[in-house]
Amino acid sequence: MLNPILSFSATRRMRSGKTLVILGAWLAVMLGTALLMMGRLLGPEVTVNGLRSGTNCYIVLMIVQFFLIVLISPAMTSGTVAGERERQTLELLLVTNTRSLRIVWGKAMDSFGMLCLLLVCGAPVMFLPAVAGAVTPLQVLEGELFLLVTAFAAVCVGMLASAVARTSMAGGILAYLFVFGIAVVTSLPLFLDYPQAVTDIVYDPRALAQLSPGAATAMIFPVLFLNPGYGLIALLHGQTRFLSSALQYQQTGRLLCSFNLMDRAGGERIALISSGAVLLLGLALLFLSAAFVRRRGFGGKRKG
Amino acid sequence: MLRLDKLTKQYGKFTALDGLSLEIADGQLHGFVGPNGAGKTTTMRIISTLLQPTSGTAEIDGVDVVRSGSKARKLIGYMPDFFGVYDSLKCWEYLDFYGRCYRLSAGERKQMADQLLDLVQLTEKRDAYVDSLSRGMKQRLCLARSLIHDPKLLILDEPASGMDPRARAEMKGILKTLRDMGKTVMISSHILPELSEMCDSLTILDHGHLVFSGSVEELSEKMNGNAPLDIRLQAGCGEETVERAVACLKELPFIREILQEETTLLRARLEGGEAETQQILRELVSRNIPVCDFHRAPMNLEKVFMEVTVDA
Ligand SMILES: Nc1ncnc2c1ncn2[C@@H]1O[C@H](COP(=O)(O)OP(=O)(O)OP(=O)(O)O)[C@@H](O)[C@H]1O
Ligand SMILES: [Mg+2]
């Protein structure tokens, strides 16, 4: 049987006018970006510059959607459990024999479903660069899948905030703090010194050129895989040589160390591993959320 | 049906519920009375698995609510004192939703929802949005919701608060119907007389302590045994006569307390029943004290509630 929390949240979501507004705004941003980036492509001939702008359009669309997802989903999810706590409907749910995990899963899937809807509706715009021949349809699909995974993880972060907080407001604030915290913690390795053995190879162009993809992958700080932003850059780099000009092997610097390793390991491989890691992190957060649903929650005034 | 054993709940250092032991038999309509902050909601939330007791156990048909929470939830229908409803949801969908949360099949849900809407007289509101209902109607809908999975035990926390007198009367009717259906009902209220009219048994709680638990008859018996004795002497009989009467009463061992309510009205509290009352009258008359009126004031339940909760 379909999760009742999911189907009823979805019913209510579809009845509220907000959904249409969000969908409209999303499409407007996507189309606006595409027009801005690909204006030149509308001309009659296929030119190198045209192709370039097609590729850039794909990159910018990916980045814009990535940030929209990361910004929207915590807000979308953070009110779910906390909001029910605030409106005193949660207890009515908790006395039924629906397990906490089922509640959390249903609510997360409802938000995730909405994000899927946004991504699917935006997909035709995403395929414009492919139609222009700038990227392959398969690459666009990869990009969409990557965004789906990111959306799922972002929803899970919002879910945890929601399960912990007593009011939607507290949940929202907490969700953004979590997102910020995860971004900071998983970006730290970019600014850390790699071990001497690694830098010896990375800063030596010849040694770096001989490094196998597997070995390069193993050298990257594992925490970095939990950063969807790193995953996104890796994916775009793998697909379109995005940021290639910055990856000059002879240059040194901590940031470039991570980029050079990414280049050797292969961007798409990194993106895949990163997606897996992020997916697992999301699931772990969901289980953690379930453990908090039956507690009273904190932040905001106590009611009743 | 329901058995509480030394149930205790502490919020930090504050003890909201102190070793409450209680038993409710099958098919009883059990009233749960106490002033604000007595611990009624706390007890009911523990039974409904929403709150963990600090110590003690609560069992429903032998199922421990702490250890076998999900099993217990199937047996209980809980209606909280305060609750919210979802917006953008129609009445029948509301019931259907909770039915699905209890994993009922589509057929069962439809049948139960129709029956329950009929029971709480909301059939014509079937397709109305829940948040458009009046407060009393929402409460009735919430009652229907707590019955959707056909629980054996109903826990109702002040179900009639916020209802007009007519709706209260209807609520009583619904509760009697439920009892006739064989359900065990535990219902809390601040208003003892209202409960004693319809309940089979009662528990009175104050500051987390059990004050009384038993049938309504036992309660009024116990309370009338405690009723004070009013003795009115002849008007204008003089202070000396009153003093003699007081002295005479003081000699009797079962008199606990004597109050002079008015110049010639004495109120005595005693331990004992009719034999002792007779003896007092005999003593007074034999000493030539002019007794004009002599009776034990019958207690009404309002007074009982006040007395019981002050003494504790
Ligand atoms: N979450 C909590 N934290 C701290 N103290 C609490 C909490 N919940 C209840 N209490 C305290 O426990 C005591 C019992 O509260 P409870 O809600 O059970 O009373 P009640 O009998 O239902 O009262 P009312 O008739 O007002 O509904 C009160 O003194 C209350 O202040
Ligand atoms: Mg209460």
**Å from CA of B35 to ligand 2 middle:** 9
Specify the amino acid at residue B89. L
Contact with chain A for residue B12, Cβ under 8 A: no
Q: What per-residue confidence (pLDDT) applies to A136?
A: 93
Contact with chain A for residue B36, Cβ under 8 A: no
Nearest-Cα residue of chain B relative to residue A99: B70
Residue of B174, B173, B211 lying closest to B309 (CA atoms): B211
Contact with chain B for residue A4, Cβ under 8 A: yes
| Torsions phi, psi for B261 (to 5 deg) | -70, -45
Cα–Cα distance, A16 to A32 (Å, whole number): 26
In the sheet that holds B55-60, the strands lie side by side as B14-24, B2-11, B55-60, B63-64
ipTM for the predicted complex: 0.81
Task: Read off the pLDDT of residues A187-216 as tens digits, 9 standing for 90 and up.
Answer: 988 888 888 888 888 888 888 888 899 998
Contact with chain B for residue A295, Cβ under 8 A: no
Q: What per-residue confidence (pLDDT) applies to A298?
A: 65
* Burial tier of B271 (Cβ tally within 10 Å: 0-12, 13-18, 19+): exposed
Minimal-distance CA residue to ligand 1 atom 17: B41
Nearest-Cα residue of chain A relative to residue B150: A96
Cα–Cα distance, B109 to B120 (Å, whole number): 16
| Torsions phi, psi for B240 (to 5 deg) | -65, -40
Q: What per-residue confidence (pLDDT) applies to A248?
A: 64
Q: Are A97 and B142 inside 8 Å of each other by CB?
A: no
Is beta strand B2-11 parallel, antiparallel or unpaired with respect to B76-79?
A: unpaired
Task: Count interface pairs A-B at CB distance under 8 A.
Answer: 68
Cα–Cα distance, B89 to B92 (Å, whole number): 8
* Burial tier of B33 (Cβ tally within 10 Å: 0-12, 13-18, 19+): buried
Q: What per-residue confidence (pLDDT) applies to B308?
A: 67
Q: Are residues A208 and A221 in contact, defined by beta-carbon separation less than 8 angstroms?
A: no
Q: What per-residue confidence (pLDDT) applies to A302?
A: 47
Specify the amino acid at residue B138. K
Q: Are residues B85 and B139 in contact, defined by beta-carbon separation less than 8 angstroms?
A: no
Q: Are A1 and B100 inside 8 Å of each other by CB?
A: yes
Residue A288 has pLDDT above 60, yes or no: yes
Query: Hey, is A9 helix, strand or coil?
Result: helix
Number of neighbours of residue A302 by Cβ within 10 angstroms: 8
Specify the amino acid at residue A166. R
Atom of ligand 1 nearest to the CA of B43: 18
Q: What per-residue confidence (pLDDT) applies to A173?
A: 94
Residue A304 has pLDDT above 60, yes or no: no
Query: Hey, is B304 helix, strand or coil?
Result: helix
Q: What per-residue confidence (pLDDT) applies to A97?
A: 83
Number of neighbours of residue B259 by Cβ within 10 angstroms: 10
Q: What per-residue confidence (pLDDT) applies to A45?
A: 64
Residue of A20, A48, A51 lying closest to A37 (CA atoms): A51
Q: Are residues B39 and B17 in contact, defined by beta-carbon separation less than 8 angstroms?
A: yes
Cα–Cα distance, A220 to A201 (Å, whole number): 13
Q: What per-residue confidence (pLDDT) applies to A41?
A: 59
Q: What per-residue confidence (pLDDT) applies to A280?
A: 97
pLDDT tens, per residue, chain B with 312 residues: 899 999 999 998 899 999 999 999 998 999 998 888 889 999 999 999 998 899 999 999 999 999 988 899 999 999 998 888 888 889 999 999 999 999 999 999 999 999 999 998 899 999 999 989 988 889 899 999 999 999 999 999 988 887 788 888 888 888 888 988 899 999 998 877 778 778 889 898 888 888 888 888 787 777 666 778 889 988 888 888 888 888 888 888 888 888 888 888 888 888 877 788 888 899 889 988 899 898 887 666 666 677 666 654
Contact with chain A for residue B125, Cβ under 8 A: no
Task: Read off the pLDDT of residues B243-287 as tens digits, 9 standing for 90 and up.
Answer: 888 888 888 888 888 888 888 888 888 887 778 888 889 988 998
Query: Hey, is B204 helix, strand or coil?
Result: strand
Cα–Cα distance, A173 to A79 (Å, whole number): 10
Q: What is the mean pLDDT of residues A156-171?
A: 93
- Global confidence as pTM: 0.83
Residue A184 has pLDDT above 90, yes or no: yes
In the sheet that holds B229-233, the strands lie side by side as B255-262, B265-270, B229-233, B291-296
Which residue among B42, B79, B83, B207 has the greatest number of ligand 1 atoms within 8 angstroms of its CB, and so is best to mutate? Answer: B42
Cα–Cα distance, A89 to B188 (Å, whole number): 20
Q: Which of B49, B84, B88 comes nearest A95 by C-beta?
A: B49
Binding pocket residue ranges, ligand 1, CB within 6 Å: B 11, 14, 16, 34, 36-42, 81, 190
**Å from CA of B206 to ligand 2 middle:** 12
- Crossing angle between the packed helical segments A100-131 and A267-293, to the nearest 10 degrees: 150
**Number of Cα atoms under 13 Å in the Cβ half of residue A225:** 21
Q: What per-residue confidence (pLDDT) applies to B312?
A: 44
Task: Read off the pLDDT of residues B10-28 as tens digits, 9 standing for 90 and up.
Answer: 998 899 999 999 999 998 9
Task: Read off the pLDDT of residues A71-124 as tens digits, 9 standing for 90 and up.
Answer: 999 989 988 999 999 988 999 999 998 889 999 999 999 999 999 999 999 999
Mean pLDDT of chain B: 87
Q: Which of A89, A98, A294 comes nearest B86 by C-beta?
A: A89
The three state secondary structure string of B146-199 is: HCCCCCCEEEEECCCCCCCHHHHHHHHHHHHHHHHCCCEEEEEECCHHHHHHHC
Q: What per-residue confidence (pLDDT) applies to A236?
A: 95
Confidence bin at A14 (pLDDT 50/70/90): confident
Mean pLDDT of chain A: 88
Q: What is the mean pLDDT of residues A226-232?
A: 94
Cα–Cα distance, A137 to A143 (Å, whole number): 10
What separation in angstroms does the CA of A9 have from each of A91, B62, B85? Answer: 16, 36, 13
Q: What per-residue confidence (pLDDT) applies to A303?
A: 42
**Number of Cα atoms under 13 Å in the Cβ half of residue B97:** 25
Residue A1 has pLDDT above 70, yes or no: no
End-to-end CA gap in chain B: 28
Atom of ligand 1 nearest to the CA of B190: 25
The number of the ligand nearest the C-alpha atom of B208 reads 1
Residue B186's contacts (CB-CB under 8 Å, 6 or more residues apart) are B2, B24, B30, B32, B44, B47, B153, B154, B155, B156
Cα–Cα distance, A114 to B312 (Å, whole number): 57
Name the DSSP class of A251.
Answer: -
Q: What per-residue confidence (pLDDT) applies to B159?
A: 87
Q: Which of B74, B80, B88 comes nearest A12 by C-beta?
A: B88
Contact with chain A for residue B142, Cβ under 8 A: yes
**Number of Cα atoms under 13 Å in the Cβ half of residue B135:** 10
Q: What per-residue confidence (pLDDT) applies to A249?
A: 61
